Amino acid sequence: MLRTRLRRPGAALGTAIAALAAGGLVAVAFAGCGIVTPGPVSTVGEVDFDRPLAIPPLADSTVDAAGTRVFTLDAQAGTTEFEPGEASGTWGFNGSYLGPTLVAELGEHIRVDVTNSLDEPTTVHWHGMHLPPEMDGGPHQMVAPDASWSPEWDIDQQAATLWYHPHPHGETEDHVARGLAGMFLLHDEHERSLGLPGEYGVDDIPVIVQDTGLSAEGELETKQRGYAGGLGDELIVNGTRSPYLEVGDELVRLRLLNASTARSYAFAWSDDRPIELIATDGGLLEASVPLDQVRLSPGERAEVLLRVEPGERLVLQSQMTPEIAGLVGPVADTNGGSDAFDVLEVRAADTLEAAPDVPAQLNTIADFDEADVVTTRRFELSDSFEINGESMDMGRVDETVTVDTLERWVVENATQVPHSFHVHDVQFRIATIDGEAPPPELAGWKDTIFTEPETEYELLMRFEDYTDTDTPYMYHCHLLWHEDQGMMGQFAVVEPGQSATMTGGTHHEH
């Protein structure tokens, strides 16, 4: 637990921020308009690390007569004690908080039988998964209270760390903050052949990081709100407050998931050793990349390797700075860009199982040929929760994509405030950032990116299959309050010559 209670000054600012943002006055307003917002906080050196890290259970599954692997998820309300004896109302899948880890193999056909035992509608979105739009779990696949939904699809993408979470339009931030989230791990023969740590919960560890507000007694409180959304002043990992992880292997694989609703992190080690990145959202990089820190915005994932010595202890931290966040001082200070956290203590046993060297080459990633690009689309992210000047309309298809064609999406954060960008169904490659090639840590497959202020990103993507004229996919800012306020659009993938049928008019019809 925390040795001393650290509280952010001030109160939530509600709709005043949106009004200021809409006027383009965010940086100045945060500095001098008199509105009190969250201020910088640090828990470094203040966490006791006195609780073993909870490991979400592996989801049970069965294989039916047709060879389909079947999972079961039940969204339900309950209570969770983040501090012994202090119960907080929470939501979870198959339990009171978070959900089990689903695991599937390349080539499997799977089905997930989802039941909604909550008293309000919700959805389950398979973040990062390639699948048909009617199985995607977006806002068009709502599951009513006491109802069920059984999406099924083929696993036809490489090994990766994915996750699942609700996606109800206007309510996503609340549903995720209450605890509805879990990991979805994909494996394949190539990944298994590399000899990477792969025993779940032993040397292959899920690390689901969330920020939250807890009272001095340990009960959940409403988080302070900056422009980015709700920002908590301490962290929980896999639902565990003040966690430590005991390891008995000299090489450990940590699967980092930023499951926070608004906060971005800059993960680093307390002794300043490099953090070894081996995979991003969509799977393995071509080679391990040593970094000072791994920056993850909400929804992003990273796999990192840690090699430990017998008996040593070190702390995974988040050491965010305005420079890493790409934010000017006043905006950084009120949106988590100046915050530091102790996240998780790793404790190595006195005797460790030896591990092989990590292969120099982890993956082969074929580049897209930009000469094959047939369509270029532009997406401007505003400071008034709009994309291209428009707010989300459930009845409007914003973009129509021809199946199996290469597209360039140019995404510009034209503001001085934080945003991100997530595309459903595909993993994309970052071609350029402000005209320059991406750094090695961003050269792999991605489905979500942090968009630094006043920066332009060129993304290359191909929607290989799964056409549907009547059911769209989403693209949106993954700062969930922004998404809920309308910072989201819809696109349909169709056969050549077709148009989306759910609305009379769409942009970029062909």
DSSP secondary structure string for all residues of 173-209: HHHHHTT--EEEEEE-HHHHHTT---SBTTTEEEEEE
Q: Kindly report the three-state secondary structure assignment for every residue of 15-80.
A: HHHHHHHHCCCHHHHHHHCCCCCCCCCECCCCECCCEECCCCCECCEEECCCCCEEEEEEEEEEEE
Whether the Cβ atoms of residue 362 and residue 280 lie closer than 8 Å to each other: no
Class of domain 370-494: mainly beta
130-147 average pLDDT score:
98
Confidence class for position 501, pLDDT limits 50, 70, 90:
confident
In b/e form, how buried is each residue of 280-312, taking b as 16+ CB within 10 angstroms?
A: bbbbbbeebbebebbbbbbbbbbbbbbebeeee
Please tell me what DSSP assigns to residue 268.
E
Tell me the three state secondary structure of residue 403. coil
Which CATH superfamily does the domain covering 59-193 fall into?
A: Cupredoxins -  blue copper proteins (2.60.40.420)
Q: What is the mean pLDDT of residues 421-448?
A: 98
**Domain residue ranges of the chain, discontinuous segments joined by +:** 37-50+200-352, 59-193, 370-494
Q: Is the pLDDT of residue 346 over 60?
A: yes
* Residue of 220, 301, 228 lying closest to 263 (CA atoms): 228
Examine the pLDDT at 13 and tell me if it is beyond 60: no
135 touches 152 (CB < 8 A): yes
Q: Residue 329: what pLDDT? A: 86
Return the CATH fold of 37-50+200-352: Immunoglobulin-like (2.60.40)
The whole-chain average pLDDT of the chain stands at 92
> Which conformational region is residue 120 in: left (phi greater than 0), alpha (psi within -120 to 50 degrees), or beta?
beta
447/128 Cα distance (integer angstroms)? 6
Q: What is the pLDDT of residues 358-416, one digit of tens each?
A: 999 999 999 999 999 999 999 999 999 999 999 999 999 999 999 999 999 999 999 99
Q: What is the mean pLDDT of residues 428-455?
A: 98
Banded model confidence at residue 14, pLDDT cuts 50, 70, 90 = very low
Which range (255-269, 271-285, 494-508) has the least confidence?
494-508
Give the whole-number percent of the chain exceeding pLDDT 70. Answer: 91
Q: What is the pTM of this model?
A: 0.93
As a whole number of Å, the end-to-end CA separation of the chain is 58
Question: What's the full length of the chain, in residues?
Answer: 510
Mean pLDDT value across residues 235-247: 98
Distinct helix (H) and strand (E) counts, the chain: 7, 35
Query: Is the per-residue pLDDT at 126 higher than 70?
Result: yes
Give yes or no for residue 26 having a pLDDT over 90: no
Which pLDDT band holds residue 316 (cuts at 50, 70, 90)?
very high
pLDDT the model gives residue 503? 55
Which pLDDT belongs to residue 39? 82
Measure the CA–CA gap between 425 and 437, rounded to whole angstroms.
24
Question: Is the pLDDT confidence value at 52 over 60?
Answer: yes
pLDDT band at 7 (very low <50, low <70, confident <90, very high): very low
Give the closest residue to 162 by CA, choosing from 106, 227, 243: 106
Query: Do 37-50+200-352 and 59-193 fold alike per CATH?
Result: yes
- Residue 15: φ, ψ to 5°: -80, -10
pLDDT at 1: 52
CA angle 288, 292, 296 (to 5 degrees): 80
For the segment 193-215, what is each residue's pLDDT rounded down to a tens digit?
A: 999 999 999 999 999 999 999 99
Other C-beta atoms closer than 10 Å to the C-beta of 58 total 14
The band of 502, judged by pLDDT with boundaries at 50, 70 and 90, is confident
Distance CA 222, CA 177 (A): 10
